[in-house]
Structure 1
Amino acid sequence: MPEQSLDLDPLARAVLDAVCEQKGLATHGQAIEWLLRRRIRRGSQEITGRGRALYPVGRNH
């Protein structure tokens, strides 16, 4: 997948820096992915009332 850069305002950069530091992540991209997964999990939990695991779907079964 091609890399894309994001133009971040200082507040967004500070939030991503804090997430990287707290979660031990190396890049802002990893922090964004962590935040998105967290939001998806919370959203699905609100809908279903249960937690769901999020795993990449592979072609090997």
Structure 2
Amino acid sequence: MHLNESMFSDEEREALEAIRRREGLENMDQAFEWLAKFALRNGVKRITGKGRALYVIEGKTKPCE
């Protein structure tokens, strides 16, 4: 999904652009994805007290019983 930049205010676009430059990302979509993952990680850490993986983890091939 590509972002429509008209969805954001000037301040939000400036913040995403700053994140894009700071993190060395190629476009605003990547900056928005980075920001969403950052917020999700911090929220989960506040709730559980632990960091959690945000990617698929290959596990056992046998389903849990």
Q: Tell me the equivalent position of 1:32.
A: 32
Q: Tell me the equivalent position of 1:50.
A: 50
**TM-score scaled by length of structure 2:** 0.75
Distance 2:28 2:37 in 1: 14
Distance 1:22 1:4 in 2: 19
Question: Percent identity between the aligned chains?
Answer: 34
- Structure 1 runs of 4+ off > 2 angstroms? none
> Which ranges in structure 2 are unaligned for 5 or more consecutive residues?
none
**Deviation, structure 1 residue 53:** 1.2
**TM-score scaled by length of structure 1:** 0.79
Matched pairs, number: 58
Higher relative contact order (CA 8 A, sep 6+): 2
**Deviation, structure 1 residue 12:** 1.1
**Deviation, structure 1 residue 4:** 4.6
Structure 1, residues 9-36: CA drift from partner, whole Å, max 9, x if none? 2211110110011000011110000000
